[in-house]
Structure 1
C-alpha cells in the first residue's frame, strides 16, 4: 500500500513548483498578436524552478540583482518562453519576439514601486505577426513542472479566460465574419482541467478516494460514493461561481483547506473502526464533497465564465466529468494492484487506512500551524 501511495504521489513530487499558474493576456491588434505575461522573475531562473522548499523571492531580492542580474533574468525569461510556448497560425508555428521593457530602463519601476515583501513580478511582452487571412490561432504549452498557463484572450469588448494545462494545445482565436475573435472554452477543455485537478495535482482528493476504496473495494459502492461526492462538490462549486458563497479571503480559504485535510484523516481513521459501508459513510461523503467543492472553488472561481452565464452549466458539467474520470482512474489503479488480494485484503485495508489517516492528520497540522512537514503533501 505504501508503494502504491508513493506511486500515485510521485507525479506530484515531480511536478513540485513554487507557482501554480502564469497569467498572460493575448490581444489581437490587426495582423499582430501581442501577449503580455505577468511572470515571477525568480521563477524564470532555472535554479529556482521545481523546488517547493525554495522560499519565494520578493521585490527586495529583485532590486538587489542589479543590471547584471536583470540581464540574466531577461535572457532566462526568453529561454523559458521559447521552450514552453508555441504559437501556431493555421497549424504553422509562428516566430515571435519577447521583450521586457522595464528591465531595459535605467531605473526600473520596481525599484521604487510596490511593497518590499511583494513577489518580484515583471511584464514580458511577446509579439507575433499573423499571416494574412489566418483562420485559427493556437497555443501549445509545455512547462516541465506542470504550471498552468492562464490565457485571457481579448478582442474589443470580447474576452475569454482559457487555462491551458501543461502538455495541452488549445485554440485561442478563430476567424469570424471579419477577423479573429476569442474562442469560448469547450466542455472538452473543462474535462481536461477537471481531470488534471485530480491527476496529478489533487493529492487531497487522491487520498480521499483511496480512503473510500480501502473500506469497500467493490465497484458498485465505490461508484455510488464517488458520484455522491462529485454531485456534492459541484453544488458548492456552482454556488461559489455564482457568488452565493465567498471563499476568496485568505482566512476562509485556509479553513476550507484545514477541513479538507480533516476529512481525509476522518476517512482513514473511520476505516479502522468499521467493518463495512453504511448509510452514515454515504452521508459523510456528501458532506465532505461540499467541503472539497469549496476547495475547488477557491482555485477555479477566477476561471469560470462569470461574464458569460450561459456557459456556466457546460463549464461545471465538463469540470465535474473530468474530476469523476480522474477519481475512477485512481480507483482503477487501486484495483489493479489490490483488487485480487481477497482474503489478505484486510492487511491492505489496515495498512493503507493508517497511512491515509496519518497523511490527513499531518495535513491538518501543516495547515493549522502553517508549517511544512512533508513537502509532497
Structure 2
C-alpha cells in the first residue's frame, strides 16, 4: 500500500527530468525563404546535461571556458538535437532545412565579451528552408524527449502570433496568402490552448497535482470533493482572468512560495480535519486565488503582446485544459484508492497527507532559497 501511494504521488516527477521548460523560436518568410531563429541553452544541447535536473545549471561563464573544440561539439550536438525533435512541413510534406549556429562559426564568438557571466548560455540557432512553389501552409512537428514546449512566434508587431507546441504536437504555424509571397500567422486554435492547460497539470504541474491530491485525501467522496474543487476552480479562474488581463500584478516568487505553502497546509490540516467544514472551503478559495496567479504567469509568457482581443479565447481554453487535468488527477485517485474501504483508507490518508505536507515544505524552502533539494519537485 505504501509503495503504491508513493508511486502515485511521485509519478508526475518522471516527466520533468529536464532543466528547461520551453524553447522559443521565431519564424519569418521573405519571398519563398523560410528563416527560423531559436533561442537555445547551449548546455541543454549536450546530451550529458539533458534529462537530469540534478545536473547543475550552466551559465555564460561555463560557455566561455570551452575551447574551440568544445564549441564545435556544441554546434554538432545542437544539429543532432534539432534533427531529432524538429520537422518543417510544406502542405504536410517534409521540407528540407539547414541549421547553423552563427556565433559558434565565428573565430571570436560574440558571447566572449557580451553578456553577464551569470547569464544563461543562450545561443541563436538559425534554421533555413525554401518553400516549394505552390505550397501554402508551413507546419512544424515537435517531439522532444523530455517534454520541453516549443513556443513559436510568427509575424511581427501587432500581427505577431504565438503558438505553443507541446511535445508530440504538429501544427500549421503560418500560411501563404493566395495573392502574395508573404506569410500570415496561423491562428492558435482553441484546442491548442486546452492542450497547453492540460499539460501544465499533467505532467508538468507537480505542485498543483499535490494540492488536488491533498483535497482528495481529506474525504474521498464526490460531494465534499466537488464542493472543494468548485470553490477552488471559481477562485483560480477569477485570479487567472484578472492577472492575465493586467488588472493585478504580483511578483512570481512570492506567488510560488504561497502555492507551496498551500500544499503544505492542506496536507497538515488533513491530520485533524475529519469532515469538510466552512473553514476549509474558505481556505481552499484563498488558495485557489493564489494558484490562479501562478497559472497566469505561465499564460502571460505565451500570449502575443499587444493583442488583447485574443485573450478571452486563450484564457478560457487554457482554463478548460487546467480543469481537465485536475479532473484526470481526481479520477485516477478515485480509481486507485476510493474502493479500499474506510478502515484501510485511514492509512492512505495519513501517509498521503504526510507526503503532501512534506513536499509542500520542501517546495517552500526551495523557492525561498532558490535551490533544488528534490529534483522532481
Asked if 2 retains the 8 angstrom alpha-carbon contact of 1:2 and 1:355, the reply is no
1:273 equivalent in structure 2? 272
Q: Which residue of 2 aligns with 1:365?
A: 365
Counterparts in 2 of 1:326-345, with a 5 A limit? 326-343=325-342, 344-345=344-345
- In structure 1, the partner of 2:218 is 215
Inter-partner Cα distance in structure 2 for 1:219 and 1:138: 43
Higher mean alpha-carbon deviation, 174-183 vs 237-246, is at: 174-183
1:36 aligns with 37
* SS across alignment from 1:17: coil
1:47 is matched with 48
Match of 1:225 in 2: 228
Secondary structure, aligned partner of 1:339 = helix
CA distance in 2, matches of 1:359, 1:126: 41
Counterparts of 1:223 and 1:93, CA distance in 2: 47
1:155/1:181 contact within 8 Å kept:
no
Task: Identify the residue that residue 88 of structure 1 maps to in structure 2.
Answer: 89
Alignment check: 8 A CA contact 1:41 1:62 kept: yes
Q: Which residue of 2 is the match for residue 151 of structure 1?
A: 152
Residue pair 1:22, 1:148 contacting (<8 A) in 2 also: yes
| Pairing of 1:122-271 with structure 2 (within 5 A) | 122-154=123-155, 158-179=159-180, 180-247=183-250, 252-271=251-270
**In terms of mean alpha carbon deviation, does 260-269 or 339-348 score higher?**
339-348
CA contact 2:19–2:57 (8 Å) conserved in 1: yes
Give 1:282 shift. Answer: 1.7
- Distance (whole Å) between structure 2 residues aligned to residue 12 and residue 70 of structure 1: 32
CA distance in 2, matches of 1:135, 1:228: 47
> Shift of residue 139 of structure 1?
0.9
Cα deviation for residue 201 of structure 1 reads: 0.5
Report the 3-state secondary structure (helix = DSSP H, G, I; strand = E; otherwise coil) of the residue aligned with 1:302: helix
Query: Displacement, 1:183?
Result: 1.2
| Residues 214 and 263, structure 2, Cα contact 8 Å, conserved in 1 | yes
Please state whether the residue corresponding to 2:124 is helix, strand or coil.
Answer: strand
Q: CA RMSD in A?
A: 1.7
Which whole-Å CA distance do the structure 2 matches of 1:2 and 1:223 have between them?
28
Structure 2: any 5+ residue segments left out of the alignment? Answer: none
- Deviation, 1:231, is 2.4
Alpha-carbon distance in 2 for matches of 1:93, 1:200: 29
Quote how far apart the aligned CAs of 1:155 are. 5.8
Partners of 2:24 and 2:283 in 1: CA distance: 37
Q: Does 1:7 align with 2:31?
A: no
Q: In structure 2, what is the Cα distance between the partners aligned to 1:7 and 1:340?
A: 16
Q: Is the 2:5–2:348 contact (alpha carbons within 8 Å) kept by the matching residues of 1?
A: no
Q: 1-side partners of 2:138 and 2:10: how far apart?
A: 35
4+ residue stretches of structure 1 with deviation over 3 A? none
SS at match of 2:171: strand
TM-score normalised over the length of structure 2: 0.94
Following the alignment from structure 2 to structure 1, what is the Cα–Cα distance between the partners of residues 162 and 205? 22
What is the distance in 2 between the residues matched to 1:108 and 1:188? 42
Which deviates more, 97-106 or 214-223?
214-223
1:15 shift after superposition:
2.8
Q: 1:156 to 1:351 in 2, by over 3 A?
A: closer
Please give the secondary structure, in 1, of the residue aligned with 2:133: coil
- Contact 1:2/1:352 (8 A) holds in 2: no
For residue 323 of structure 2, what is the aligned residue in structure 1? 324
Q: Residue 90 and residue 8 in structure 1: after superposition, are their counterparts in 2 closer, same or farther (change >3 A)?
A: farther
Q: What are the Cα deviations for residues 14-65 of structure 1, in whole angstroms up to 9, with x where unaligned?
A: 4311111111110111111110011111110101101111112122211221
Number of residue pairs the alignment of both structures matches? 373
Q: TM-score, normalised by structure 1?
A: 0.94
| 1:174 CA displacement | 2.4
Shift of 1:13: 2.8
Equivalent residue number for residue 24 of structure 2: 23
Secondary structure of 2:126's counterpart equals: strand
